[in-house]
Structures are given as structure tokens and as C-alpha cells.
Amino acid sequence: MYRTEKNRDRDRERDRERQRERQRETERDRDRDRERRRETERDRERQREGDREKETEGDRGRQRETETKQNKDKDRETEAKKIITDRQRETEADTETDERREGETETEKETEKGTETETVDLTHRPPPTPPPT
């Protein structure tokens, strides 16, 4: 009986050790699962952060595009205003020049009544030639 009891005790101890080992294995599995879940959550958070950054960068890009378009529009508007102003000045200058020339032509006619003088109409002058480069 001694042997049988001793064997039983040994068997029980082995069973307990197997039980403990299974519990440790189960705990390790749980730890691994928890770590996987944490890592998965970290990955998701990184992805969300990346998406937010892309979204923010996209917003910045759209804002830059809008600002660029607005600046171009302002530049075009300014250029158009300059052109209009220049044309108005040219028109005013041409009108003044034409009025002055008409006055000169009339004065010439009055002073030259007694002699034959060719009166040149200066209102139709040729376009100015560009200066040599």
C-alpha cells in the first residue's frame, strides 16, 4: 500500500503541476490577446491620426488653392483697373491733343488767308514708331 499511496501522491502532484501549467498558459494567452488588442487599437489610433493629418493637409491645400485663386483674381482686377486708367488717360490726352491741333489748324487758316497754304489734318496721324533697340 505504501507504493500505491506514494504513486497516488505523485500522480496528484503531477496533476496539480499540469493544472498550474495550463493556468499559466491560459494567462499567457490572455496577455497576448490583450497586447494584440492594444496594438490593434494603437494602429487604429495611428490610422485616425494619419487620416486627420491628411484631412488637415487637404484643408490647407484647398485653402492655399483658394488663396492663390483669390490673389490671381485680385491681380487680374488690379491689372484691368490699370489698363482702364491708362486708356482713359490716353483718351483724355488724345482729346486734348486733337482740340489743340484743331485750334492750330484754324489759326493757321486765319493767318494764311491771303496766301495758299496746305493745311494738314493732324487728327489722322500714323502710329508712332517704336524706338530703336
| CA 57 vs CA 19, 42, 52, 54, 68: distances in Å | 56, 22, 8, 5, 16
% the chain with pLDDT above 90 = 39
Work out the average pLDDT over 78-89.
91
Instruction: Give the pLDDT of residue 84.
Output: 92
- C-alpha cell of 44? 487604429
pTM over 0.75: no
The mean predicted confidence, pLDDT, of the chain is 82
Would you say 122 and 105 are in contact if contact means Cβ atoms under 8 Å apart? Answer: yes
